[in-house]
């Protein structure tokens, strides 16, 4: 199974990167770890989509909330080890070992591999049309750009442009991350009460406007609150997009989700270069305004989501028939 292969490779790759003293081995292990991360990301999101359909209730945001919580706990563990004068590699390697062992021994995965192999062997097309995949892929790329942009550039902007002390500027990233985690724990319940496209569109448009206003007025307190609101707004973009893709693709969504997750990685990889060029030629204010513009654009685009995914279920049914 994809996850049982990728999970241990991912954990082992991190371990090799931490313990090796060879630069070529470090880069090789990094490449392998990155490939395993992509496989694992697609596989786990596909599992969550299948669990949603099995349970007939939303669970994708909760799944991503646990991921966000794990990141916060991991950051806290490394900080604790460093403050105690210990090597953080010990904690990271230990966590990787526990994680890899769990992935191998877990027996509760939802299996749809036989059906997926049948689709591939018989040359069946993707269950979602090219237009739907392109739209959802573009949306998830934008969400990755916003998330990565805030994490990479918010503290630097507060420190360099608004002269906030480094320790205070760094708290903006912490507040943003906590806001994302909290919003994801609430996301499934909210998506059951509010149309998912509106749950994305309204907060993202407001967040884009608020962040723009804060940058233009150079108001530090408003800017920090804008990052918190951005975290609340963008938190459920990734899980809702994946959830909608999985629901539209039917009971075997791995291929479609893999393609859409690929778009997310494109956003994560291209974001630093894109914002870096913007910062170099136009300054840090322009960089943060770019993040605000992308958040606003994603909010507007989300309004069109029902038009793209509403008719995809019928296509999925047709493709799944022999």
Nearest CA to 304 out of 131, 106, 159, 155 is that of 131
Q: Which of 83, 114, 145 finishes a domain? A: 114
State residue 200's pLDDT score: 92
Is 120 part of a structural domain of the chain? Answer: no
CB neighbours (10 Å) of residue 92?
19
Containing domain of residue 153, as a range? 130-320
Is 54 part of a structural domain of the chain? Answer: yes
Is 125 part of a structural domain of the chain? Answer: no
What's the pLDDT tens digit per position in 50-76?
777 777 788 889 888 988 888 888 878
State residue 232's pLDDT score: 92
State residue 257's pLDDT score: 81
Cα(117)–Cα(33) distance, integer angstroms: 25
Mean pLDDT of the chain: 83
Cα(245)–Cα(182) distance, integer angstroms: 23
Is 123 part of a structural domain of the chain? Answer: no
Residues 284 and 137 occupy one common structural domain: yes
State residue 291's pLDDT score: 95
Residues 50 and 139 occupy one common structural domain: no
Cα(96)–Cα(149) distance, integer angstroms: 27
Tell me the range of 45-54, 138-147, 300-309 where mean pLDDT is highest.
138-147
**First CA to last CA across the chain, in angstroms?**
24
Q: Is the pLDDT of residue 185 over 90?
A: yes
Q: What are phi and psi of 112, to 5 degrees?
A: -140, 20
Is 119 part of a structural domain of the chain? Answer: no
293 or 42, which is more confident?
293
Cα(150)–Cα(301) distance, integer angstroms: 20
What's the pLDDT tens digit per position in 144-163?
999 999 998 999 999 999 98
Domain count, the chain: 2
**What residues have CB less than 8 Å from 20, skipping those under 6 apart?**
26, 29
Q: Quick check: 296 and 235 in contact, CB under 8 A?
A: no
Residues 196 and 164 occupy one common structural domain: yes
State residue 1's pLDDT score: 64
Give how far Cα 27 sits from Cα of 13, 22, 91, 241, 269, Å.
10, 9, 22, 32, 17
Angle (CA) 95 261 157, round 5°: 75
Kindly give the residue spans of alpha helices, DSSP state H, lying in the chain. Answer: 2-19, 23-55, 60-83, 88-105, 113-121, 130-160, 166-193, 196-217, 220-234, 237-249, 254-282, 284-302, 305-309, 312-320
Give the CATH number of the domain where residue 292 resides. 1.20.1250.20
Residues 7 and 49 occupy one common structural domain: yes
Across the range 176-205, mean pLDDT stands at: 92
Residues 303 and 189 occupy one common structural domain: yes
Residues 161 and 239 occupy one common structural domain: yes
State residue 125's pLDDT score: 52
State residue 311's pLDDT score: 54
State residue 312's pLDDT score: 52
Is 87 part of a structural domain of the chain? Answer: yes
pLDDT-derived band at 317, boundaries 50, 70, 90: very low
Q: Which of 84, 114, 144 finishes a domain? A: 114
% of the chain at pLDDT higher than 70: 88
Residues 149 and 272 occupy one common structural domain: yes
What's the pLDDT tens digit per position in 210-248?
999 999 999 999 999 999 999 999 999 999 998 888 877
Instruction: List the single range of 75-79, 281-285, 291-295, 297-301 with lowest mean pLDDT.
Output: 75-79
């Amino acid at each position: 199974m994809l996850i049982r292969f990728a999970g241990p490779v991912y954990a082992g790759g991190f371990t090799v990167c931490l313990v090796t003293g060879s630069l070529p081995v470090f880069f090789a292990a990094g490449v392998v770890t990155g490939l395993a991360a992509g496989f694992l990301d697609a596989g786990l999101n596909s599992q969550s989509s299948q669990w949603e359909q099995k349970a007939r209730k939303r669970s994708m945001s909760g799944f991503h909330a646990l991921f966000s919580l794990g990141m916060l706990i991991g950051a806290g563990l490394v900080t604790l080890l460093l403050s105690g004068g210990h090597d953080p590699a010990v904690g990271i390697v230990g966590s990787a070992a526990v994680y890899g062992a769990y992935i191998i021994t877990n027996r509760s995965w939802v299996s749809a591999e036989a059906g997926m192999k049948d689709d591939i062997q018989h040359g069946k097309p993707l269950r979602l049309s090219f237009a739907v995949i392109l739209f959802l892929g573009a949306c998830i790329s934008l969400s990755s750009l916003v998330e990565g942009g805030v994490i990479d550039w918010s503290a630097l902007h507060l420190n360099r442009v608004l002269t906030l002390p480094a320790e205070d500027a760094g708290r903006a990233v912490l507040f943003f991350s906590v806001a994302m985690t909290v919003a994801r724990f609430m996301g499934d319940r909210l998506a059951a009460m509010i149309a998912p496209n509106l749950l994305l569109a309204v907060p993202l448009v407001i967040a884009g406007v608020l962040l723009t206003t804060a940058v233009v007025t150079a108001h530090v307190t408003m800017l920090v609150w804008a990052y918190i609101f951005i975290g609340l707004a963008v938190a459920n973009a990734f899980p809702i997009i994946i959830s909608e893709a999985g629901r539209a693709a039917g009971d075997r969504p791995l291929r479609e989700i893999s393609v859409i997750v690929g778009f997310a990685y494109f956003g994560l990889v291209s974001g630093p270069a894109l914002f870096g060029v913007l910062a170099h030629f136009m300054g840090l204010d322009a960089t943060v305004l770019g993040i605000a513009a992308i958040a606003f654009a994603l909010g507007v685009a989300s309004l069109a989501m029902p038009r793209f995914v509403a008719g995809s279920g019928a296509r999925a049914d047709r493709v799944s028939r022999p």
